[in-house]
Amino acid sequence: MRKASQGLRTVLAEKVHAYRIRRGLSQEALADACDLHRTYIGSIERCERNVTLSTLEILANALKVSVSDLLSDK
């Protein structure tokens, strides 16, 4: 099974965390907005998850950013 590069997972983790904090959301609040479990959000932020495209889209919508914003290292 192939995995996403650690670098890309790190970028996603940092971006989800940063946008979540910027929006004043707890992991639990973001999870509720995404209809995901709180521990799943934590595992994304710890680079433990290789999320699907549909999950990326859900996260982006909940954080009010684009998918490319979540994956860009800029």
Residues near 69 by beta carbon (within 8 Å), at least 6 away in sequence: 15, 19, 60
Looking at residue 74, its pLDDT comes to 78
Residues near 72 by beta carbon (within 8 Å), at least 6 away in sequence: 11, 15
Q: What is the pLDDT along the chain (74 residues), one digit of tens a residue?
A: 666 567 899 999 999 999 999 999 999 999 999 999 999 999 999 999 889 999 999 999 999 999 999 999 87
Looking at residue 48, its pLDDT comes to 92
Looking at residue 13, its pLDDT comes to 97
Looking at residue 23, its pLDDT comes to 97
Q: Which contiguous run of DSSP H or E holds residue 45? A: helix 38-45
